[in-house]
A and B are shown apart, each in its own frame.
Chain A
Amino acid sequence: MIRAVTVSATHDDPFTAGRDASAELLADLGRAPDLVLLFSSAKYDAARVLEGVHSRLPAGVPLVGCSSYAEIDTEQALTSSVTAMGLLLDGIELQTFQVAGRGVDSFAAGREAGAGLAAFSPSLVITFPDVLDMNATQFLLGLQDTLAKDTPIVGGASADDGAFRATYQFHGQSVTSGGAVGVALKGRLAVATAAKSGYTPIGAMHTSTRVENGKELLEIDGRAALDLYRDYLGERAAQMPAVSIEFPIGVVGGIAGTQRQVDDSLLLVRAIFNVDEPRGALILGGDIPQGATIRVTRATKQDVIRGADEATVQALESMPDPDVALIFSCMSRKSVLGPRFPEECQASFARLPAGLPKCGFYTFGELSPVQGVTMHHESTYTIVLLKALS
């Protein structure tokens, strides 16, 4: 059985927050963990947080994680915290990895990470890429290009406070900004995943007729994408670009030929991170192929909460008695929910077995399999249930 403890520490001083989290983790676990997952609010100095964590954590304990928009621990979703999960892996092997960013080709970076893990033959890969530096869709495709096709890849893109300026990755004792970090697990491990957005399409189906650099949607049905999108928003267009995070673009049938099979439903949602007024373009958080069938989507607070609930129910159908739950939810969901954002975790946690250790964060994009194929999502609540097999 995997044993895990999650702690959250909040302090004005980042070092103290990191130190308190680490001290509490050791006290609760009663021994040094086999692995630490660390998610630190972007409000903290990431390097000082990690120093604090290592001031108490025994040397050599593998650690991966990243900066976050908000954090999730066993009890709740919260902000301004350093949240750490310590895991005792019950014989499950692990291998951490880190790939450099800043100007590297994202697909090649994914291939590099995958090549380093291929010999390890992982049962699960958990990764935290920096989408401000690299293209997470391409990074994922690179990973999938080198790993076994059915290897589940989960995790989330590191985040900041919503300014989209810089995010940070933790790997052992190093803090970087850019690239990706992660950990691969191997052994008698069962994994169940689910991803649901709760967003529903509004209006007609359209075609993405001009896309540049994977994420820049310039034209929809031959019209400037921004103009058509503004038509949908109506009076609320005055609040762009902030409001656009609440009205993501849904890709009908996912992305054919790459990340999933064609289907009529909306399985992939792309958040709009920014707009390019002079070019009339929508800048998305992830790739969207030219020629894809797309729809503008929206969600009420209840829809978002329902999405989290449905994802949890679906994951539990595959694994009713997990040892650990990891949760990666999109920052856009927190934006939609506002002060009510903890409610989606409350709805999800109410379904999970009492006392189940949980950990996660609010991301700039999620990675989770859907129907057996890992996809790069946005605006989605993803849940990963883990269990050591006896």
Chain B
Amino acid sequence: MRCETCLLTSEEGASLPLEGFLDRLETCDECPLESGQEPCPLVAVERLALRARASSRALRKLGNRLRQSENMAKDLSAGIAEYEERAAKLEVLQQAGVLEANRELRAKMALVEQKEEAILALSTPIIEVWEGVLVLPIIGNLDDRRTGEMLSRLLEMVSLRAAEYAILDLTGVDRIDAATADQIIRICRTVALLGAKVILSGIRVEVVLVLARLELDLSSLVTMRTLKEALLRCGVGAAR
């Protein structure tokens, strides 16, 4: 197809932007100047040279942009790889951290358990104050675990020492709740089954009120105001 107006010689052709000029030129495949049917004027050569330089520059710019985009993509790709590497390292560190934390936690828990055992042992001292006379001073709250420990040790001692008396001294108990009171009564009754006589001493008013509210049969319990009286009752003072 031949151009209606010659791109190479007309003002219209000269005013076209590079892309438009090249588009039009591409479709002009019957150019009489190109085929030599018509002589090529100097202005056409000048304009073609000008357009060639502009094309070269545009190509250079496009090439630059393309290469810069490629670089940017490479940088991003390297950045992603770096991030992934860092994330993997962090993951390893985190896992190591969790394992270490778990180890520490387990060690701490074991330590706490050891301490609890030690505290429990210390909180249930059973003293044989005289031959056949055991004293168990109770201080603080009694829970199931402590009661169980206390009962187990007291039974063991009563059996081992063939104790005649077991004094549960409550001087160190300021207040008591129903559950604790029930535990104490339970200890007394169980120890009595071994044949030992159980004496409760040092019972404060507040403790008595709680025991009374339980509506238990306390007739078998021997109670004394103080530890001293309880010891006298066991004949400790008389023996001395």
Contacts and interface: CB of A to CB of B under 8 A. Distances in A.
**Cβ-closest 5 pairs across A and B:** A339-B79, A10-B67, A80-B71, A338-B79, A10-B68
Contacts of B83: 338
A79 interface: yes
A53 to B, nearest CB: 15
A24 B57 contact: yes
A235 B93 contact: yes
Interface in B137-181: none
A8 B64 CA distance: 8
B60 interface: yes
Contacts of A338: 79, 82-83
A344 to B, nearest CB: 15
B80 A81 contact: no
Interface in B58-117: 60-61, 63-64, 67-68, 71-72, 75-76, 78-80, 82-83, 89, 93
A9 to B, nearest CB: 5
Interface string A17-33: 00010011001000000
Interface residues of B, number: 18
Nearest to B71: A80
Interface string A202-219: 000000000000000000
A11 interface: yes
A79 B71 contact: yes
Nearest to A43: B71
A80 B72 CA distance: 9
Given A338-B79, A339-B79, A339-B80, A78 B72 contact: yes
Contact of A79 (B60, B75, B80): B75
B68 A78 contact: yes
B94 to A, nearest CB: 10
Interface in A76-123: 78-81
B71 A11 contact: no
18 contacts: A8-B64, A8-B68, A9-B64, A10-B64, A10-B67, A11-B63, A11-B67, A12-B67, A24-B60, A24-B61, A78-B71, A79-B72, A80-B71, A81-B68, A239-B89, A339-B75, A339-B79, A339-B80
Counting chain B CB atoms within 10 Å of each CB, which of A10, A20, A23 scores highest?
A10
A95 to B, nearest CB: 32
Given A10-B71, A80-B71, A81-B68, A20 B60 contact: yes
A81 B63 CA distance: 13
B143 to A, nearest CB: 42
Contacts of A9: 60, 64
